[in-house]
Amino acid sequence: MKTYKRLFAVTLLLLFAACSKENTATKIPYITPEESDGVTLKSSASFPWGAAVNVGLMKSNAAYRALVEKEMSSLTSENEMKMSRIRSSQTAWYFTDADYIVSFAQEHNIRIHGHTLIWHRSPAWLDTYQGDAAAWEAMFQEYIQTVVGRYKGKVA
């Protein structure tokens, strides 16, 4: 158990350090790979180990991206696979950010954990959606089948 606590603490420190623009300003110690004895969360956990990842940081912060690759054996998209991002309007589909995360995970042999198809924070257009029960069911069915079909075999 102590190993997991140590690895968890090291990971938190690395995440904070990777996300800060100036590590010295935050007074967070940076732990080098040599100091970690080569032990990673990915290699030491007997279960999928991961976190929700932010696509903006994945695209713009090399240290964040490297930490995800090194430490995580599983990841979840923070928001990019939620309906409000994929279908921000009734007629628009946007998969670019979700595809980026799925591609990154596949390239680095990291499992993707899917966590929601319909979320309580829905896109604004749903607040004014007009239709009977059959129309609502058809709209949600189209959405779910489109997303599940796109990521079938890629997302757990």
Average pLDDT over the chain, rounded to an integer:
83
Query: Is residue 156 situated within a structural domain?
Result: no
**CA–CA separation, 11 and 4 (whole Å):** 10
pLDDT in tens, 84-103: 999 999 999 999 999 999 99
Query: Is residue 118 situated within a structural domain?
Result: yes
CATH of the domain at 142: 3.20.20.80
Residue ranges with strand state E in the chain: 50-53, 74-77, 111-112
pLDDT in tens, 14-36: 565 555 544 444 454 555 656 66
**With b meaning 16 or more CB within 10 Å and e meaning fewer, what string describes 87-110?**
beeeeeeebebbeebbebbeeeeb
In the predicted structure, residue 137 carries a pLDDT above the cut 70: yes
Query: Is residue 112 situated within a structural domain?
Result: yes
Parent domain of 59: 2-151
pLDDT in tens, 98-107: 999 999 999 9
Query: Is residue 64 situated within a structural domain?
Result: yes
Percent of the chain with pLDDT over 70: 76
In the predicted structure, residue 77 carries a pLDDT above the cut 70: yes
Q: How many domains does the chain have?
A: 1
